[in-house]
Every structure is written in C-alpha cells, then in structure tokens.
Amino acid sequence: MLHAQTSTQFNGAKALEFARQFVACGPRFNGSAGLLCAQNYLKKQFAHDNLQADTFVASTPVGPQQMTNFIVRFPGKKDGVIVLATHYETNYPLRNTSFVGANDGAATTGLLLEIANHQRGRTLDGYSVWLVFFDGEEAVESWSESDSLYGSRHLAAKWQMDGTLKRIKGLLLADMIGDRDLDVTRVTTATPAIEDLVYDAAKKTGNASHFFKTEAAEEDDHLPFVQRGVPSADVIDVNYGPHDAEHPDGWHHTPKDTLDKISAKSLTISGEVFLESMRLLNAH
C-alpha cells in the first residue's frame, strides 16, 4: 500500500523503486504473464483509492485484443479535473525479445505512483486529480493512425460521449522522462499554452536546462485528447541513448531500455515539474 505524503518535495528514489518493481514483472505485451503482473501491481498499489479498470476490446492487425486502462481519481474542491497520464505496457512486436521498457512505460508509471503519494489522504484544495495508465499505446504491428494509441483513443472517445472531456483543465502526459540524460522535447502536436506552462514550471523549479532545447511533432497518447479540444502537454524525452547504425533510434524500442538507463535524479526533476505544473493549472 502507498502511504499519504504531505511534503511537496518529490522523491525520485521512490519513483525509481516503483519502476524497478514494475520492470520485475518482465515484458508487459498484450496477452503476457508480465502484463497481468503489471495490472495486478497497479491494482495492489491503488487498492484503497478510487480505482477504475476501463477494459475494452481493440481491433488490431493481429485480431481482437482485450486491453485495460486504469483511472485513479483523487477528489478536489474546485470544479474541474487535472489528468496525469502515461502508458504502462510494452511493445507487442518486441515480445520475443527481453524488452522490458524501463524508461518507456515503467519509469513514468513509477512517476505517477509517487505523484499519488502527494494526492491521497485528503480532499485536494484545487481541481480533482485523475491518474490514467493507458494500455495499448504501442503499435501491435507497425505504427499508424489505426495501429497505435488504442487506450487513449478509446478513453478520449468514451469521455467525449459522457461529457467528461469538458471538465478537464489540462492533461499532462509523461513518456520516457526517467532518462538519465534528461532532455525533454517541446512537442508541437500538443497545446502550445500547456507546453508553455510546463516550461514555466521547469523554470520555477530550477530545471529549465533539461527542457525544450529541441522540438518535434510527436504522435503520443495526448493526440486523441488534443484532437477533441482538451488542453494537453506531452512531456517526453525522445532522445534516448546514443544513436548509431545498430541503434538508429538509440535505446528506444530495444532490449537496452533497462533500469540502469534511468535515474532517481531525472525522476525527481520530472516529478517536481509535474507537481509545479499542477499548481500552475490550479492557479488559472
């Protein structure tokens, strides 16, 4: 069980420990024992919180696959919601490798688990905070609009139908920000004002040197929400590891995405920026 924490100091070492425990499940691709382990781990961590399992069947290039998003709600006093999100599964095409997604999925799952320690045990003074753990971010065969972002596309459509999207003041997506060499990219497919807010948070916490030296048009779990008018930021470090002929995309989507490539320091920086971004959203 996670315990309540009143300190505003983010504990990256705890986030790293959560990531280590998560990685211990092994590869978390759809249909694997590792994914079931990961889902049970999340259920255990949030056993005393308002946890909802959002299970659905996705149509994929290899046939129907059952997927599950997890949503954890912490109530606030103000009318509105701040959503913090990540994805937690690993890549199906890499299922026959040792790929455990330490940075790509596990680190940011650990980040949100530790952020939960700052939310629970009280009614929040500001907006409600919802943590979302998406399934099916990865392509099942090869990345395309129809073969990717299964969990976020499902939830964005569901929340549009029931009116939830109108309540969201900001969505902050975390992806690959446990990287020891932290260099967060400004994402041009996100909402500019929310990307600006994240950079303001980085400056206020003394972490601006790790943010926005580069920019890129990323396709990530923020997109289905941006496309429906939800103000969203994608907080992602896309430059992960050395790029060479053998690894043209660095350690991303390779078995080298292991725990030794992420750090408590980077998770502390990322956590501080997320907490400050939430304060800034509440001040609006």
Residue 7 has pLDDT above 70, yes or no: no
Residue 247, pLDDT score: 83
C-alpha dist (Å) from residue 36 to 22, 32, 39, 134: 11, 7, 5, 14
The answer to whether the CB of 276 falls within 8 A of the CB of 199 is no
Of 284 and 258, the structure prediction assigns the larger pLDDT to: 258
Higher pLDDT, 6 or 161: 161
Average pLDDT over residues 215-234: 98
CB 107, CB 264: distance < 8 Å: no
CA distance 264 to 267: 5
Q: How many residues does the chain have?
A: 284
- What superfamily in CATH does domain 12-283 come from? Zn peptidases (3.40.630.10)
Q: How confident is the model at residue 244 (pLDDT cuts 50, 70, 90)?
A: confident
Beta strands 211-216; 184-187: pairing state: parallel
pLDDT at 278 over 70: yes
Higher pLDDT pick, 241 / 73: 73
- Check: CB of residue 103 under 8 Å from CB of residue 151: no
pLDDT, tens only, 197-211 = 999 999 999 999 999
Output the CA angle 251-71-258, nearest 5 degrees.
15
Written as one letter, the residue type at 170 is: G
> Is the predicted pLDDT of residue 3 greater than 60, yes or no?
no
- Which tens digit of pLDDT belongs to each residue from 122-178? 999 999 999 999 999 999 999 999 999 999 999 999 999 999 999 999 999 999 999
Does 4 have pLDDT greater than 60? no
pLDDT at 5 over 50: no
Asked whether the predicted pLDDT for residue 281 surpasses 60, the reply is yes
Q: What is the pLDDT at residue 8?
A: 61
- Cα end-to-end span (Å), the chain: 33
Residue that wins the pLDDT comparison between 9 and 162:
162
Please, which residues have CB within 8 angstroms of residue 279's CB and are 6 or more apart in sequence?
Answer: 126, 201
Q: What is the pLDDT at residue 58?
A: 98
Percentage of the chain surpassing pLDDT 90?
93
Per-domain boundaries in the chain: 12-283
What's the pLDDT score for residue 208? Answer: 98
Q: Is residue 2 scored above 90 in pLDDT?
A: no
Q: Give the CA-trace dihedral at 107, 193, 184, 254, to 10 degrees.
A: 60
Tell me what pLDDT residue 6 has.
36
Check residue 176 and give its pLDDT: 98
